[in-house]
Amino acid sequence: MPKTSAGILLHRLGPVGREVLLGHMGGPFWARKDDGAWSIPKGEHGPDDDPLAAAHREFAEELGSPVPVAELVPLGPLRASGKVLTVWAAEGDLDAAACVSNTFELEWPPRSGRIQEFPEIDRAAWWGIDDARTKLVGGQVPLLDRLLAAVGGR
């Protein structure tokens, strides 16, 4: 059975069109990468967990703030990187510069015996849809088309 993740794609109508809030993945593997190194705030959940509750929890953990809206639009499940990712879209605003993520521990450098702490998301930013297609990890890009379909392409 594949692992399951859930997340929330926050979006807003900006001066040049639809924008989405993405997080740059933290840790040493992603530190020098930009294109293809951003993600929708999301996280794994167990088979008995409520995916929507997990999406809310992960959003708050990775961005340091609860989802700033009440209405969520399901974008449905997507198979990406061997996982099934279920995402909801939420229209709202959040100060990306104020986002502060939770952390994880990792032995770094490898085989050094040294455990270091890294943020799950080292920064957040608003991206227009075209730029987001480049910034997002490849498996999540189809969610942008689902978002546009859900909001009428605007």
Whole-number Å distance between alpha carbons of 109 and 111: 6
Q: Quick one: fold of 3-150?
A: Nucleoside Triphosphate Pyrophosphohydrolase (3.90.79)
4-25 pLDDT, tens digit each: 999 999 999 988 899 999 999 9
34-55 pLDDT, tens digit each: 999 999 999 999 999 999 999 9
Q: Is 71 exposed, middle or buried (0-12, 13-18, 19+ CB in 10 A)?
A: exposed
Please name the residues in contact with 46: beta carbons below 8 A apart, sequence gap of 6 or more.
4
> 35 and 116 in contact (C-beta within 8 Å)?
no
Strands 73-80 and 17-25: unpaired
Confidence of residue 154 (pLDDT cuts 50, 70, 90): low
Whole-number Å distance between alpha carbons of 10 and 63: 11
